[in-house]
Copies of this chain bind each other. A is one copy, B any other.
């Protein structure tokens, strides 16, 4: 279930913050993966976007988006798809090795922008900001008329392990400093280069982006229990929930089992502040047309493939088989990916890149199946 009002409000707030800071807002669309929700960003003036795969870029290109950064180290095996895509949109790639730069210099047939991915401490992907020599080698290998250097890009994923706002601010400050040193170093050679950063915790919790040219948060469009735990949003700002039926009730151990599991939510879990055990979601009331954040029914203790076990609050102890409850997901990106489409509170279904063409298939009458 998707609350469009909340979702639009989340988009509006972030667009406004970017505008107030005079930074380019290039939201990451991997969270929602939906052309219709993308339209709500367009309503806020967004024209440049971020995606995480060539297929996602192709989907949004089909839906009229013309300025796309694939914020994922180039998979050189997709060179044909990249050339075809770059012929119809302004495409930016992510490079972080001499080998990939050399390959693209030789194989790109159409003009493409590229960012160099900088590792500002997350240690997943990217070049160490102090490794100027490697950056110079990459830039040298990328000397092709088809490759235009756009700037330096980072994702400070370590903010997801930050303990509090102070640590988050410190991570952001360090990342910004690293990027600014690089900007200064290479500005003479590339006067238009920009520095790009942005993750939802930082973009939600920090108000000034001094030194930054572009932000790329994605999850904020929905938010989720993880972002709530990190202090990025209130529970009231979470714009998606999965409505699940209760199938079994265990009064003695204050638990219910729902039809809702790893195939609907993934297995992402988190430590809630008030709970020492890992939680897989928060259960709240469902009144038939909306979820009720104030009606806390319990927390998800575990997910199997299709079962979820909910540990109940006192209010939850009234539940019986056949009741519907709403689950706020720990990680909305993965849950949205698994559910493959959204139902608006008003009942209309919204497709994603993986459900397009199948829309309403799930609503097809049972009889047609035979």
Chain A residues within 8 Å of B, Cβ to Cβ: 30, 52-53, 58, 61-62, 72-77, 80-81, 84, 88, 96-97, 99-100, 103, 123-125, 157, 245, 247-249, 253, 257, 259, 262-263, 266-268, 302, 304-307, 309, 320-322, 324, 333-334, 337-338, 357-358, 361, 366-367, 369-370
Query: DSSP majority for the A interface?
Result: mixed
Q: How many copies altogether?
A: 2
Rank and list the top 9 A-B pairs by shortest CB-CB distance, nearest first. A73-B247, A76-B322, A73-B248, A267-B267, A75-B245, A125-B257, A125-B248, A52-B306, A75-B259
Looking at A99, A157, A259, the one whose CB has the most chain B CB atoms below 10 A away is A259
In angstroms, Cα B249 to Cα A58, docked, is 26
> 21 A-B residue contacts at CB 8 Å?
A30-B305, A52-B306, A58-B366, A58-B369, A72-B247, A73-B247, A73-B257, A74-B247, A75-B322, A77-B245, A77-B324, A123-B253, A124-B307, A124-B309, A125-B257, A262-B268, A266-B266, A266-B267, A267-B267, A305-B337, A338-B338
Nearest-CB distance from A318 to chain B (Å)?
13
- Kindly identify which residue among B53, B266, B320 contacts A262, using a CB–CB cutoff of 8 Å: B266
Chain B residues with CB under 8 Å of A321's CB are 73-74, 76, 97, 99-100, 103
